[in-house]
Structure 1
Amino acid sequence: MSPQERKRQNLVAIYQALLQLMTQKPLATISITELCQQAGVSRTYFYRNYANFDQIIGAFQEQYMLHYLRRLPNQTQIGLAELMTRYFQVVQQAADTNRLLIKNDKYDIFVQTFQTVFQLLIKQNRISSASGLAIFNEPYYVEFFSGAVVNVAINWMRRGMPEPPAYLGQQIERLATLHPHKPQQ
């Protein structure tokens, strides 16, 4: 097994062990020793790779989202509605895990992961400019947009996900491309 594959395997093991423990008790009461025993990894592994549990969750969420991005159509660019539809599909597929993380106050990790991945897509010019997305280059807009999308996802899960992901993707595109006032200088 390659070092890269071993690292990924250990991340999955420690993340799944953390989730399992979180179903049994609050995150604040889980010890590093307990987590490492549950995951079958050493404490040395934990301390070499992570400073806290949030880093485990963040690393796994980012890896999960990057895996999702690799499954996007091979076309150069993708429309915002389709991209957001895919995001809500991912949220829906992992709804139980997402609810558990939200219950343990990990909202910020979802926002940070979304923001990191979204910035990567902008940097790689993967989002179709036909959606009028010049606003994404405005200061603080990506932070605003990331928080808004994650908040919609969380509330959608709380409501039992009554609408299909495509509906939410279209709504996000519509709201994101409204013509805002020009920034004051």
Structure 2
Amino acid sequence: MSPHEVKEQKLTATFKALIKLLKSKRFEDISITELTRTAGVSRTYYYRNFKTLDDVISAYEMLRIIQYLRQLPNNPVKLTFETMMTHYFQLVADDADDQLTLIAAGKEQVIIKAFNTSYHYLQKDNVEQIDEYDYDFLSGAVVNVSIHWLKNGMVESAELMGKKIRQFL
């Protein structure tokens, strides 16, 4: 296994341990020792890579988005905004239990920050350009709509949600 794969594996284990602990504890009551023990990683690993538990969430959310995008067909045509939003909603649906756990823990702002960072990353080459000041608006709007969609049981398809977000903007 490459060092990059080991790093991703440790991050995933740490995030999944955090989600597991959040199902029975308040976010504020989770200790680093308990998290690292549950994840099977060292405290040194944690402190070398993260300053806060929110950093674990942000790093994992970014990893998931990047992994998901790598699975998309390599198409020379630019992805449209609607297509990107459809893919985002599919990712949210795929991780619904984890997302709902984070929402219940009050970590919406961390999800919004990860979306914002990811969208900046994607903006460089793959999607239609938007004004710099629209990033925060877009991030908050999309994540808040995805939260509402999750809480309502994801009745609409990811494709329909992608269309709705495009229509809103």
Shorter-normalised TM range = over 0.9
1:144 counterpart = 2:145: no
Amino acid corresponding to residue 19 of structure 1 in structure 2: I
TM-score, scaled to structure 2: 0.94
1:25: which partner in 2?
25
Could you tell me which runs of 5 or more consecutive residues in structure 1 were left unpaired when the two chains were aligned: 177-185
Q: CA deviation at 1:71?
A: 2.0
Is the partner of 1:70 in helix, strand or coil?
helix
Deviations 1:10-44 (A, max 9, x none): 11111111111111111111111111111111111
> Which aligned segments of 4 or more residues in structure 1 are displaced greater than 4 angstroms?
none
Quick one: which amino acid aligns to residue 146 of structure 1?
Answer: S
Q: How does 1:34-113 map to 2 (within 5 A)?
A: 34-76=34-76, 77-113=78-114
Aligned CA-pair RMSD: 1.3
- Where 1:24 maps in the other structure, the secondary structure is coil
TM-superposition CA deviations, 1:129-168 (whole Å, max 9, x none) = 4xxx5xx12x420110111000100011111111111111
Give me the identity figure in percent. 40
Flag structure 2 segments of 5+ consecutive residues without an equivalent: none
- 2:159 aligns with 166
How far apart are residue 123 of structure 1 and its match? Answer: 1.1
**Alignment partner, residue 181 of structure 1:** none
Q: What is the rounded CA distance, in whole Å, between the counterparts of 2:122 and 2:61 in structure 1?
A: 16
What is the total number of aligned residue pairs between the two structures? Answer: 168
Query: For residue 6 of structure 1, what is the aligned residue in structure 2?
Result: 6
Letter in 1 for 2:103: I
Taking structure 1 as the reference length, what is the TM-score of the superposition? 0.86
